[in-house]
Structure 1
Amino acid sequence: MADILSILSSGYTTKVPTTSTKYVAVDPALYKGNWSGTYANKKTFEIDVSQISGFRAQVKYSSAGTVKYQQVLIKDGGFRIGDTKFALAGANKATIKNAVTDPVTNSTFLDTAQALRKA
């Protein structure tokens, strides 16, 4: 019984890693708009970024019948919506990384694509 309690207590003392940078206000012009692209498997996606205030924004992600709405926190040039990471990669360009679980093998892989902002 003592072994179980010591294992449980050690789990509570483990420190969660944090980043040293702070959230700061971003330039809305860098993020706001409609971003779109295509993954390697030919599935398209769209990311709509709106209502940017400080370092917060409203985001809608849609791809292959999946639609997610979320308020996100922008930090270090990007944000995360669900299993998808958005990172600025230049003027009107972004890198999108999406964690996908294969239903057949139950393995997870990272699907990476480039997104362009529509004018």
Structure 2
Amino acid sequence: VGPHPSWPTTLLRGWTTDFKPTAVDNAPSARYVDEFLTISGHDAISAARDLAQKEGIFTGISGGALAAGALKVASQAPQGSCVLTVLLDTSIVHLRTPLVDDVPSEMSEEEAALVAHVK
């Protein structure tokens, strides 16, 4: 099952640009939603890669979109505000997405040296 072929798609697999889960409108917590943000596929991938490279958090493109959204909200929030986002992800499914297209499949010499003592 996928989006209708005439709908514009995004890098978030299976989602269309106008995707919004019905659970968002129907959930009891919907009254706590202040706004919806649009995050581009490029920004989502960039944020996911930053999380992996800088924080050691491996998440997918949708997790990157959540992180990018949280950073956008935080940049506009009053000083001292606290912004929370939760990335629910097993990550293994993302090994076949554009997220890792430019990641080498083999370790560099530096990476190999870091794990050489691990058995």
Calculate the TM-score normalised by the size of structure 1. Answer: 0.24
Considering fraction of residues, name the structure with more helix. Answer: 2
Calculate the TM-score normalised by the size of structure 2. Answer: 0.24
